[in-house]
Amino acid sequence: MGVAAPLAGHALFRTRDLDEARERVAAIFCPHRLDRIGPGGGFDACHHHLQGERLSLNYIAYGAKTLIAPGELRDFYLFQMPLTGAAAIRNGSDAYVSDPGRAALLNPHHATTMIWEGDCRQILLRIDREAFVRHLAGLIGGLPDRPLTFTGAMDLTGPRGAALRALILHLVAEADAGRPALRPGSLLGRQIESTLMTGLLEAHRHSFSDALHHTRGHEVAPRMVRQAEAWMLARIDQPVGIEDVAEAVGVSARSLQLAFRRFRNTTPLAFLRDARLDRAHADLQAGLPGTSVTEVATRWGFGHFGRFSGIYRGRFGCAPRETLRDAQAAPF
């Protein structure tokens, strides 16, 4: 008896019929051309499939040299990691060879044509395009202004590529042991999916590599920090305490304080104070008739006017009354 193929417990089909293989694979991925090429027979296709929430883990082998031409994948990115053999890839204007040391990551907005060698056996990740872009947006701090486009083969021998390969093989091994981590509705599975998407973005060249590495170099704030900031800004004119903020985002006050210290070099309430100072500064700069420093300070939660004046000067380099005076003296 031979060693079982990866994900054997999640087999979809095995067939020697080319048309059946084409139709069954298309049901998971997309319609495509599939032709056996070169001399000899041996076509023996199998597809194993483990479905997650935003991506799926797959194993495919054809047992013969094949031409695969899906055109544009449209709705998903496709990561292909050969275990044996090689595949010639053309994705848009990009052309390269994928093998056990070099993976392929196919862009859905470029047409794809591939030739898999007869001994090519691959682990594949099908990643929902919209989910992948949303994940990237969370890492770079905003929605991408252009398509997420990967370039060339992914090196699986360097530190990041090797770590990603090891994680994927670990997930396969866990599934083969009857402990699949990827499954819809699983919080752990969703976290693993996020880790896989981050790993792909870190290990490979793409159109946002510079933005991602710049942001990562400055440490992206975790979600709780961003949620806390948004929650406080939505209540900027209301009394807010650290316990209120911590409860709103579902963490302890200490955890929130430590996260703000690490990622913002400040505290949550200092962040809120500075945001209120910015609003007060804007009101004073507007210099509307009837505006007073006392009224503006009170509006933005500063009841101690001497302290307000001191921290205002520390932030803007002048007293609040000077800002108001200059604004009111400016010609219309």
Task: Confirm if 84 and 5 have CB atoms less than 8 A apart.
Answer: no
In a domain, 134, yes or no: yes
Examine the domain organization and report whether 138 and 229 are in the same domain. Answer: no
Examine the domain organization and report whether 203 and 282 are in the same domain. Answer: no
Task: Determine the Cα angle at 121 with ends 88 and 106, to 5°.
Answer: 45
Task: Determine the Cα angle at 249 with ends 246 and 255, to 5°.
Answer: 50
Where a domain ends, among 216, 242, 277?
216
Examine the domain organization and report whether 205 and 287 are in the same domain. Answer: no
Examine the domain organization and report whether 260 and 236 are in the same domain. Answer: yes
| C-alpha–C-alpha distance, residues 19 and 16, integer Å | 9
Where a domain ends, among 187, 216, 245?
216
What pLDDT, on the 0 to 100 scale, is given for residue 112?
Answer: 96
CA-based R_g, the chain, Å: 28
Examine the domain organization and report whether 162 and 227 are in the same domain. Answer: no
- Sign, CA dihedral 249-250-251-253, equals positive
Q: What are phi and psi of 209, to 5 degrees?
A: -60, -45
What pLDDT, on the 0 to 100 scale, is given for residue 214?
Answer: 58
* Structural domain range at position 274: 223-329
Where a domain ends, among 194, 216, 238?
216
In a domain, 29, yes or no: yes
In a domain, 138, yes or no: yes
* Relative orientation angle of helices 209-217 and 129-140, to the nearest 10 degrees: 40
**CA nearest 85: which of 59, 120, 61?**
120
Residue at token pair 């000899």? 40
Q: Is 112 left (phi over 0), alpha (psi -120 to 50) or beta?
A: beta
Q: How many helices (H) and strands (E) does the chain have?
A: 12, 12
pLDDT (tens place) for every residue of the chain, 332 residues total:
457 899 999 999 999 999 999 999 999 999 999 999 977 668 999 999 999 999 999 999 999 999 999 999 999 999 999 999 999 999 999 999 999 999 999 999 999 999 999 999 999 999 999 999 988 887 776 778 889 999 999 999 999 999 999 999 999 999 999 999 998 888 889 889 999 999 999 999 999 888 776 554 445 567 888 889 889 998 888 888 999 999 998 888 888 888 888 888 889 999 999 999 988 988 898 888 888 999 999 988 887 888 889 999 888 899 999 998 888 886 54
Examine the domain organization and report whether 60 and 149 are in the same domain. Answer: yes
Q: Is 71 left (phi over 0), alpha (psi -120 to 50) or beta?
A: left
Examine the domain organization and report whether 192 and 74 are in the same domain. Answer: yes
Residue 256, token pair as written in the block: 């929130």
